[in-house]
């Protein structure tokens, strides 16, 4: 972060100055920040939001050399020690699509990209758009909890040795459950093989901003970092950042990402989302004490969960997995199988009966996410879990399904997506090539992607997911996942 004053928020301040001027607004947005005729909108959101909701290309805001938006992006680049940072208004999903489309310009469409199989479905969308030909590396799998972790340096090295023509590599860290990969070793290996390493760090925006959270992947050698700032960075939903590191690939990567940013960003990016990124960056870079508050809350919750006879903390077992180098203290992953209910049931129960919203559930876990500056009412959470424990028999939930093995790879995703296809019933889909990406949500990791063969096990898992409270399958053509689109 160097000597830059990170308390500044130049873009957010420029919006405020604009809002406070008496401007006759004869431009979009059509609400014109008027008081008359916008009562429903301003009554709902407050007049300040309307006043700061501005069209792009305004002098003194986002147009002209050194404008406040450019300053805000430069401050973000300084905060992450990046060569360049882009502000995105369609989430880390956009960042993943940008990355895939950018990598295609490195010659990856002819040569493979080495990628972790448990990538978020937005990266698979990017692979389809860009026509990439992925070589998948399996993450380690925690079969007891039915979840994916990360990629170990040894399996990463083996994949690169087996695919000497690979042009780039892509991994995810941290996982949805807070498992952090050994990015330093992965980056060293990638660089030894002459290729850049992309890290989807959607869940680790706060990394590097406090000594007790893991270091930012960019400072450990990653070349590109996907960051879902709205997740734990405190910006508004759908705002995100993409960073390119200072390093051996920076010039080439900045050029191609600039091109693909234009291809994917709205020409009317929301000033509200952009301002929230400016403020979130400043809050992270100057907010060690806020992160410390969240860490203390996470620690307190973990302690209480450990002390509970029927609950346990998932990250306490992370030491068993070779790929996991650290864990994020702001993710509190709780094994609830001892309550005799599935994680989905527990999550829904907490929401409906106690108005406690947790982030993710699987068959036997729930994950609580604690944002910086947020002291958690640990008693409230534990009382709710205690009540549930009292109401339910002491036995493990019975209907857990293991993660299904990946189906055989038959066609590159883009070819399968655009191939002639038909919709068939589930039973008839077994042994056929999927034309769609189907991802059980949460967490949204594709169980099958275009070009892979359906198996009975995959279909059973998808159908099991949609039966769970809060479970759905992204990309499914029917709510019950009883029909699928297959290549003819």
Ligand X SMILES: Cc1ncc(COP(=O)(O)O)c(C=O)c1O
CA separation for the pair 453, 432 (Å, rounded)? 5
92 binds ligand X (CB under 6 A): yes
CA proximity to 216, closest of 374, 118, 99, 77: 77
How far is 266 from 277, CA to CA, in rounded Å?
Answer: 16
Stretch binding ligand X (CB under 6 A), from 87-95, 189-197, 278-286, 453-461? 87-95
Task: Report residue 327 CA to chain centroid gap.
Answer: 16
Q: Which stretch binds ligand X (CB under 6 A): 5-13, 91-99, 266-274, 391-399?
A: 91-99
- Candidate list 9, 96, 364, 468; residue touching ligand X; CB under 6 A: 96
Nearer to ligand X, 93 or 337 (CB): 93
Residue of the chain from 73, 84, 97, 120 that contacts ligand X (CB under 6 A) = 120
Q: Which stretch binds ligand X (CB under 6 A): 3-11, 85-93, 134-142, 305-313?
A: 85-93
Residues 134-163 that bind ligand X (CB under 6 A): none
* Secondary structure (DSSP) of 215-247: PPGGGGT-SEEEE-HHHHS---TT-EEEEEESS
- By CB under 6 A, the residues from 198 to 217 that bind ligand X are 200, 202
Distance CA 140, CA 138 (A): 6
Asked whether position 228 contacts ligand X by CB under 6 A, the answer is yes
Please report whether residue 440 would count as binding ligand X according to CB under 6 A.
no
- 107 CB neighbour count, 10 Å cutoff: 11
Measured distance CA(264)–CA(226) in Å, rounded: 15
Beta-carbon contacts of residue 362 (< 8 Å; ≥ 6 apart): 145, 146, 147, 343, 344, 442, 443
Find all residues with CB under 8 Å of 65, minimum gap 6, and list them: none
Residue 122 found at the interface with ligand X (CB under 6 A): yes
User: How far is it, in rounded angstroms, from Cα 100 to Cα 437?
Assistant: 16
Shortest distance in whole angstroms from residue 303 CB to ligand X: 27
φ and ψ at 474, to 5 degrees?
Answer: -65, 130
CA-to-CA distance for 471 and 348, rounded, in angstroms? Answer: 10
Residues 233-252 contacting ligand X, CB under 6 A: 240
Does 444 engage in binding with ligand X (CB under 6 A)? yes
8 binds ligand X (CB under 6 A): no
Q: Are 156 and 137 in contact (CB under 8 A)?
A: yes
Nearest residue to ligand X by CB is 91
With respect to ligand X, which residue has the nearer C-beta, 139 or 221? 139
Among 91, 146, 208, 287, binds ligand X (CB under 6 A): 91
Per CB under 6 A, 433 contacts ligand X: no
Which of 156/454 has CB closer to ligand X? 156
Least Å distance, CB 67 to ligand X, is: 25
The answer to the question of residue 330 lying near ligand X (CB under 6 A) is: no
Nearer to ligand X, 61 or 147 (CB): 147
Residue number, 12 or 242, with CB nearest to ligand X: 242
Is 172 one of the binding residues for ligand X (CB under 6 A)? yes
With binding defined as CB under 6 A, does residue 100 bind ligand X?
no
The least distance separating ligand X from the CB of residue 42, rounded to whole angstroms, comes to 28
Q: How many residues bind ligand X (CB under 6 A)?
A: 12
| Main-chain phi, psi angles of 313, to 5 degrees | -100, 120
- Give 8 or 96: the residue with its C-beta nearer to ligand X: 96
The DSSP call for residue 104 is: G
Q: Residue 155: how many CB atoms within 10 A of its CB?
A: 17
Q: List residues near ligand X by CB under 6 A.
A: 91-93, 96, 120, 122, 172, 200, 202, 228, 240, 444
């Amino acid at each position: 972060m160097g000597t830059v004053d990170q308390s500044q928020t130049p873009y957010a301040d420029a919006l405020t100055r604009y809002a406070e001027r008496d401007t006759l607004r004869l431009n979009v947005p059509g609400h014109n920040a008027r008081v008359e005729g916008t009562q429903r909108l301003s009554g709902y959101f407050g007049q300040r939001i309307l006043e700061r909701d501005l069209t792009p290309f305004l002098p003194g805001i986002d147009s002209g050399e050194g404008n406040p938006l450019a300053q805000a992006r430069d401050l973000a680049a300084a905060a992450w020690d990046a060569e360049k940072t882009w502000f995105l208004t369609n989430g880390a999903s956009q960042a993943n699509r940008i990355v895939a489309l950018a990598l295609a310009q490195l010659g990856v469409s002819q040569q493979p990209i080495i990628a972790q199989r448990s990538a978020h479905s937005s990266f698979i969308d990017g692979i389809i758009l860009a026509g990439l030909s992925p070589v998948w590396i399996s993450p380690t799998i925690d079969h007891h909890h039915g979840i994916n972790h990360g990629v170990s340096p040894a399996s990463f090295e083996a994949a690169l040795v087996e695919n000497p023509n690979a042009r780039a590599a892509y991994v995810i860290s941290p996982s949805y459950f807070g498992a952090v990969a050994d990015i330093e070793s992965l980056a060293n290996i990638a660089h030894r093989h002459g290729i850049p390493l992309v890290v989807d760090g959607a869940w680790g925006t706060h990394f590097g901003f406090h000594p007790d959270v893991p270091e930012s992947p960019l400072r450990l050698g990653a070349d590109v970092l996907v960051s879902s700032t709205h997740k734990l960075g405190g910006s508004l939903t759908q705002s995100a950042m993409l960073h390119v590191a200072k390093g051996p690939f920076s010039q080439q990567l900045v050029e191609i990402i600039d091109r693909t940013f234009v291809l994917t960003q709205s020409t009317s990016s929301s000033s509200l989302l952009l301002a929230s990124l400016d403020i979130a960056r400043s809050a992270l870079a100057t907010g060690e004490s806020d992160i410390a508050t969240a860490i203390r809350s996470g620690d307190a919750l973990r302690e209480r969960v450990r002390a509970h006879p029927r609950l346990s903390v998932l990250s306490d077992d992370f030491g068993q997995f070779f790929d996991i180098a650290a864990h994020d203290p702001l993710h509190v992953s709780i094994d609830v199988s001892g309550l005799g209910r599935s994680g989905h049931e527990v999550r829904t129960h907490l929401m409906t009966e106690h108005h406690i919203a947790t982030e993710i559930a699987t068959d036997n876990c729930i994950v609580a996410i604690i944002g910086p500056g947020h002291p958690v009412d640990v008693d409230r959470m534990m009382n709710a879990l205690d009540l549930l424990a009292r109401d339910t028999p002491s036995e493990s939930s019975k209907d857990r399904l293991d993660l299904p093995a990946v189906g055989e790879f038959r066609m590159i995703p883009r070819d399968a997506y655009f191939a002639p296809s038909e919709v068939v019933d589930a039973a008839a889909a077994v042994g056929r090539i999927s034309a769609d990406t189907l991802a059980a949500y949460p967490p949204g990791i594709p169980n099958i992607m275009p070009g892979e063969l359906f198996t009975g096990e995959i279909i059973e898992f998808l159908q099991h997911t949609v039966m769970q409270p809060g479970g759905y399958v992204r990309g499914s053509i029917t709510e019950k996942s009883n029909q699928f689109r297959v290549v003819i």
